[in-house]
């Protein structure tokens, strides 16, 4: 039976040594986080690995957009699989919108009256969704019909990514670095609704 090793803060002054200490703990959250960082180090350190990033849930509105964009830009991610919602929220930011924290105690009715939509404890202003819609319609208006009907969804997202000016956009970095984005539920998102119209 292996003994639990306790973390010695005096020996773990830098984050990498602290995470190594967590790995030595070996149990509960500390042990899992330590093991996870070891896996990530191997995954990002070995050029033979092909790394898929699978994103579900509101990762972009939850503040991880620049992390994902950075990983793509620096060659750590080879392909992305994500919900259409994360793509939409990347585009909301790319077209000048933002995500905000919902103040404690705010109910949905009051948020709606104020022109805001809720995502858990995050909200987006309706005017920011309007910026997204304007940007999408400008892109779609410039896309030849014959091209629109022959593009696979991942190719469509690459085309869209090439038109984005925001360097922190996941779609832009993926397009620049030839990282395909697969979104099986793209048509169920706000972007998908606009593709139908």
- State the CATH number of the domain containing residue 87: 3.40.910.10
Q: What is the Cα–Cα distance from 127 to 114, expressed in whole angstroms?
A: 11
67 and 4 within one domain: no
State the total domains in the chain.
2
109 and 85 within one domain: yes
State the pLDDT confidence band at 197, using cuts at 50, 70 and 90. Answer: low
123 and 149 within one domain: yes
pTM: 0.85
155 and 82 within one domain: yes
pLDDT surpassing 80 at residue 143: yes
Residue 59 CB neighbour total at 10 angstroms? 20
185 and 150 within one domain: yes
Q: What is the Cα–Cα distance from 119 to 136, expressed in whole angstroms?
A: 21
CA torsion sign for 105, 108, 109, 114 is positive
pLDDT tens-digit series, residues 27-70: 788 888 888 888 888 888 888 889 999 998 889 999 999 999 99
What SS3 class is residue 79?
Answer: strand
pLDDT value of residue 32: 84
Q: What are the two backbone dihedrals, phi and then psi, of residue 176, each rounded to the nearest 5 degrees? A: -60, -45
pLDDT surpassing 90 at residue 9: no
Percent of the chain, pLDDT > 70?
Answer: 98
Percent of the chain, pLDDT > 90?
Answer: 50
99 and 41 within one domain: no
Average pLDDT over residues 110-125: 83
Contacts of 18 (CB under 8 A, 6+ apart): 7, 12
pLDDT tens-digit series, residues 171-190: 999 999 999 999 998 888 87
What is the domain range of residue 63? 50-196
Residue 14 DSSP class: S
120 and 72 within one domain: yes
């Amino acid at each position: 039976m292996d003994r639990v090793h306790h973390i010695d803060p005096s020996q773990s002054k830098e984050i990498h040594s602290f995470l190594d200490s967590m790995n030595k703990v070996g149990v509960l959250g500390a042990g899992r986080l330590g093991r996870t960082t070891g896996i990530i180090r191997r995954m990002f350190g070995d050029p033979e690995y092909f790394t898929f990033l699978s994103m579900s849930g509101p990762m972009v509105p939850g503040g991880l957009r620049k992390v994902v964009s950075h990983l793509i830009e620096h060659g750590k991610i080879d392909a992305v699989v994500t919900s259409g919602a994360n793509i939409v929220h990347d585009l909301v930011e790319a077209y000048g919108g933002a995500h905000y924290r919902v103040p404690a105690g705010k109910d949905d009715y009051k948020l709606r009256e104020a022109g805001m939509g809720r995502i858990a404890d995050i909200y987006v202003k309706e005017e920011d969704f309007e910026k997204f819609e304007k940007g999408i319609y400008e892109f779609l208006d410039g896309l030849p019909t014959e091209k629109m009907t022959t593009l696979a969804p991942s190719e469509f997202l690459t085309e869209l990514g090439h038109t984005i000016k925001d360097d922190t956009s996941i779609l832009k970095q993926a397009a620049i670095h030839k990282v395909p984005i697969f979104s099986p539920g793209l048509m169920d998102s706000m972007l998908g609704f606009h593709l139908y119209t």
